[in-house]
């Protein structure tokens, strides 16, 4: 039996804590759409040169907004994750409630959703093709519910969040229950702090600690923000060095584009040496809280 992280990982995690923490939906007021695309171990070639087996890839779309009149936030997410013969596709909705605390806000959130796991048995390479436990007949799939929780605290410069995904520990059974697979609970502790170095230059160190079963992974990052640009580096333990860069576009800086390159430094001979990720984010403004101002005529005002 092997133990490993099942949730996808993203190098630009610090740009979008809502990837795994539903409480983040209530911490920022504007409606924000974010998209991540990651291709891992680009150029990977499987041992039998099967063109149907591609490198692992993940796409994630999230949307969040704050509804300040009821001290709440809502979020939405879509994910598509492909790893060899297994595909996971999930959708979730999240709700958070926040209270002002000191200079910032503290929030608690819950996320509910569903995951579709698909196994493409035509991509398997069994040692014994007559093994009765194997599932045959192409692709088979099952839906299971998902549950996640999160806590966060945020100010203009500081963020810390604790979250747990796959809390319900859904188990999938395929082929007359001959094969089972579970999504185990994952735990995340994330924090960042941004401070000014000089006129127009800021620095933001951050970290992300992930735990699943007996596997721990720590990602330590440092970004520099210079006017409309950001750049920096991260180290993911037992995996890779990560180089990040991005730009803020439009006059109000509402559009962000980021890119990161992962250079594998652990077991590089066993896999391709690089992974690539792009990040897009657009701030639509706080449309849910917009109110037309009341214009009073001084002539008829009582």
Q: Residue 293: inside a domain, yes or no? A: no
What is the tens place of the pLDDT at every residue in 116-138? 988 877 666 665 566 555 555 56
Q: Residue 186: inside a domain, yes or no? A: yes
Q: Residue 211: inside a domain, yes or no? A: yes
Q: Residue 181: inside a domain, yes or no? A: yes
Residue span of the structural domain in which 105 resides: 13-123+138-288
Please check the confidence at residue 270 and state whether its pLDDT lies above 60. no
- 9-18, 82-91, 260-269, 271-280: range with highest mean pLDDT: 9-18
What is the tens place of the pLDDT at every residue in 137-196? 567 888 999 999 999 999 999 999 999 999 988 888 876 656 777 888 999 999 999 999
**Residue 186, helix vs strand vs coil:** strand
Angle formed at CA 253 by CA 252 and CA 256, multiple of 5 degrees: 150
Please report the pLDDT score of residue 129 as a whole number: 60
Q: Residue 89: inside a domain, yes or no? A: yes
Q: 263, exposed or middle or buried, with CB in 10 Å at 0-12, 13-18, 19+? A: middle
Please report the pLDDT score of residue 40 as a whole number: 81
CATH number at residue 74: 2.40.160.40
User: How many structural domains compose the chain?
Assistant: 1
Q: Residue 119: inside a domain, yes or no? A: yes
Could you list the beta-strand ranges (E) of the chain. 31-39, 57-67, 72-83, 86-101, 104-120, 139-154, 158-165, 171-174, 179-182, 186-193, 195-198, 201-212, 215-226, 229-236, 240-249, 255-264, 274-285
Question: For the residues 101-107, what does the mean pLDDT come to?
Answer: 94
Q: pTM for the whole thing? A: 0.84
């Amino acid at each position: 039996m092997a133990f490993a992280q099942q949730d996808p990982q993203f190098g630009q995690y610090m740009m979008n804590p809502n990837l795994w923490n539903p409480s983040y939906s209530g911490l920022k007021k504007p409606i924000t759409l974010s998209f991540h695309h990651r291709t891992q171990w680009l150029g990977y070639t499987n041992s039998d040169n099967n063109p149907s087996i591609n490198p692992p890839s993940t796409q994630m779309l999230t949307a969040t907004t704050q509804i300040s009149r009821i001290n709440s936030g809502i979020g939405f997410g879509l994910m598509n994750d492909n790893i060899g013969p297994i595909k996971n596709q999930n959708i979730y909705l999240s709700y958070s409630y926040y209270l002002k605390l000191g200079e910032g806000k503290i929030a608690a959130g819950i996320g509910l959703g569903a995951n579709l796991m698909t196994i493409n048995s035509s991509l398997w390479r069994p040692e014994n093709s007559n093994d009765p436990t194997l599932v045959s007949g192409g692709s088979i799939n099952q839906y299971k519910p998902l549950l996640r929780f999160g806590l966060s605290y945020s100010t203009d410069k500081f963020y810390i969040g604790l979250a747990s995904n796959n809390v319900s520990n859904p188990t999938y059974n395929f082929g007359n229950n001959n094969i089972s697979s579970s999504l185990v609970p994952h735990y995340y502790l994330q924090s960042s702090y941004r401070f000014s170095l000089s006129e127009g230059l800021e620095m933001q160190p951050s970290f992300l600690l992930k735990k699943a079963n007996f596997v721990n992974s720590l990602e330590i990052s440092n970004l520099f923000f210079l006017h409309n640009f950001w750049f920096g580096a991260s180290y993911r333990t037992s995996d890779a060095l990560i180089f990040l860069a991005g730009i803020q576009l439009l006059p109000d800086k509402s559009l962000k584009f980021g890119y990161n390159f992962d250079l594998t430094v652990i077991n590089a001979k066993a896999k391709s040496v690089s992974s690539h990720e792009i990040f897009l984010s657009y701030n639509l403004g706080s449309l849910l809280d917009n109110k037309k101002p009341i214009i009073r005529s001084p002539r008829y005002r009582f």
